[in-house]
Structure formats: structure tokens, C-alpha cells
Amino acid sequence: GKVLAEQAGIPWPAVIAHRGASHDAPESTRPAYLLARDLGVDYLELDLQRTRDGVLIALHDDNLLRTSDVAEKFPERKERPVSDFTLAELKSLDAGAWFNAAHPERARPSFEGLRILTLDEVIDIAEGGEHKPGLYIETKLPQQFPGIEKDLRDKLAARGWLDGRVRPVALDEGRVTVAYSPGRVVLQTFEKGSLELLAREMPEVPKILLLWVGDGYMEAAPDKPHDTSVDQDKAAWYARQRPRDRATFESWLDFAARNGAVGTGPSAALAAGGKQSYMDLTQPWMNRMTQDKGMLVHVYTVDDEVDFARLSEAGVDGFFSNRPDALLRFVGRA
Ligand code: G3P
Ligand code: CA
């Protein structure tokens, strides 16, 4: 896949900081993105949503309960989607204290009072350091945000991120090279409709179709299990399904390619810690089929060295990771 990646202007293997360095700092906040940037990652990953007053922001969940103090500040609206809040309301929330409570061993007093970031602020961070990471932007829940693909295009254009200029890419030992910028932004989505809209709005920008087993691929699994271990009966069932699954999988790839995707973002989330899962969408035949069609494989979300190694063997072209420090060590860039 290295040649394919170069053609798309995408570093190989791609080091994508998932919601920033989100193992070590509250996801999608300033310290998480600063940490990742200064480590020298290729991309800052973010999930794009839109406030009630039309501002693009970086936030993963469809509500604010897990990653903020919304329950205290807006108890009557605590379960409402992000789109129910104005930017001023979102900016009044504490987006860091939850992390200290959830991860006392990684807590820092400075995380208290962190704010949700706008896309503009994430762009500022990406542009602000010695390293210049790209942005890897997911249209999250796009059906909740009609027109968000165009809003994103307008913002990226206004910020000069679609103008095809060159960008410096920091390499090891302080060497700096210059790469053409088509891969400075990568767009990603699980939603086929959003991929079509992204392709229409930004045909020149590389796009990735994210893949998840819930999207039909394993619909017929006996009990839709969420365990990470391989159960022999289930594994046998899986093996029997493979021919049909291949056709389904191939139809996803063909859809992605037709809509300008340069690759896929398959889930390996259920294969953590070296435990293979039959819900894993990064099996060697899948990667091969994807790459045979001229597409890249960027796998999410991988934090464990055992998995970096296994997935590298399985031929993937890049990783989304909450632990970009570990990933950079693995690829020999730290
Ligand atoms: O964008 C890749 C990966 O982040 C997709 O899953 O739920 O973490 O956005 P999620
Ligand atoms: Ca994401």
C-alpha cells in the first residue's frame, strides 16, 4: 500500500491520533491535540458535529453526558444531542474533569475546566507547532446535521486547507521534506450518504469509508456477541459464512471506490490485546481485497503493541490510536 499512499499524499504507515493523544489527556481537548501534534503524528483525528448556532466543533458522542458536566449545568437537557446547544452553552461546560475522575492515575489538575473545541481551534493547533499534522475529519451522525459536508468544505477552504499548497513534513532527526498537500486533510465517515456528499463537495480530498460490523456485514451472526474471545462454535459459524461475506465486503469496497474513497477504515476494536475476534474487519483476505482494488486500509482503534505488530503483518496502511506515542515508537519514529 505504500505506493498507493504516496499517490494520495498520505504518509505511510499513517499515524493518526484518535481524538488527539486521548489516552493521556481528555479526548478532543487542547492538551490531547497539543500532545499529539508535538509528538509528530501525521494526523489529528476528530469527530465533527455542529452547534445549534451553526458552529463546527470536535466531539465524539452524540450527547455530552460522558465527557462533560452537562448533568450539573443543564440538568433538564443533559441527554439532548450536541445540536441542541449553542456554542456559548457548550463553552460553559467542563470537558476535562470527567477524565480525572475516570482515570485517576492519569489525572492532572490542569485538565479541569478544559473546553470543547471548535474546528477552527483544532486547525489553529494543527498550524501552530513545529510539526504540522494534517487533519483526519469524520462527519459524525451526519443525518443530524444536514449540509455539514458543505459547511466543512467552506471552513477548510476559508482556512486555506484546500488550496493544494505544499506542506512541510517533519521526518526523523530533524530532517524536513516537503510533500504535496492532497493528503493534508483526510475525510472519513461511516455513512454512505455522507461519503457521497463529501465526494461532491471535495472531490480532490482523500476520503475513507469507515467499516463496522453492525453495518450489515455480520447482521446474521447468531447472537451479535460483543466479547473479544474466539468461541469455537462461533468461529466455525463464521467460517461457513465467509463466501457470502466476501461478496458483502466486496460490495462495500466497490461503493467506497465509486464514491472517491482512497481506502477503508475497518474496525479492529474488538481484537484488542492480541485477542483475535471474528468481528474483526482487518483479516488478511479483507486487507488484500481492499488493496487489490487500489485502496488503503487505516484501522481503528489500536493502542496495544501486540496489535500494531499483528495488524502490520496483516498489511494495514495506518492506524488510528489513542496512544500515538506507542505507535510512533512501534513505527520507529520516536
Ligand atoms: O474514526 C475512526 C474511529 O474513530 C471510528 O470510531 O466511534 O471512535 O469515531 P469512533
Ligand atoms: Ca472518529
Atom of ligand 1 nearest to the CA of 320: 2
| pLDDT value for 303 | 93
Measured CA to CA, the distance from residue 220 to residue 207 in angstroms comes to 29
Point out the catalytic residue in the list 23, 60, 226, 298. Answer: 60
Q: Which three cell numbers stand for residue 330?
A: 512501534
Residue 235's identity, in one-letter code, is A
Least confident range from 48-62, 112-126, 128-142, 256-270: namely 256-270
Classify domain 2-62+116-330 by CATH number. Answer: 3.20.20.190
Tell me the CA–centroid distance for residue 175 and ligand 1, in Å. Answer: 32
Instruction: Assess whether 298 carries a catalytic annotation.
Output: no
Tell me the CA–centroid distance for residue 189 and ligand 2, in Å. Answer: 8
Q: Where are the alpha helices (DSSP H) in 223-295?
A: 232-258, 284-292
Q: Which residue has the higher pLDDT, 51 or 242?
A: 51
Least confident range from 69-83, 163-177, 309-323: namely 163-177
31-42: b or e for each residue (b if 16 or more CB lie within 10 Å)?
bbbbbbbebbbb
The answer, yes or no, to whether ipTM is higher than 0.90 is: yes
Reported as a pLDDT band with limits 50, 70 and 90, residue 276 is low
Pairing of strands 56-58, 43-50: antiparallel
| pLDDT value for 181 | 55
In tens, the pLDDT along 197-250 reads 999 999 989 999 988 764 444 443 334 333 334 455 655 555 554 445 788 788
**Beta partners for 319?**
15, 299
Q: Quick one: average pLDDT of 115-143?
A: 95
Tell me the CA–centroid distance for residue 269 and ligand 1, in Å. Answer: 10
Element (H, E) at 31: helix 30-39
Residue 104's identity, in one-letter code, is P
Measured CA to CA, the distance from residue 234 to residue 280 in angstroms comes to 13
Instruction: Assess whether 226 carries a catalytic annotation.
Output: no
User: pTM value?
Assistant: 0.88
| pLDDT value for 230 | 46
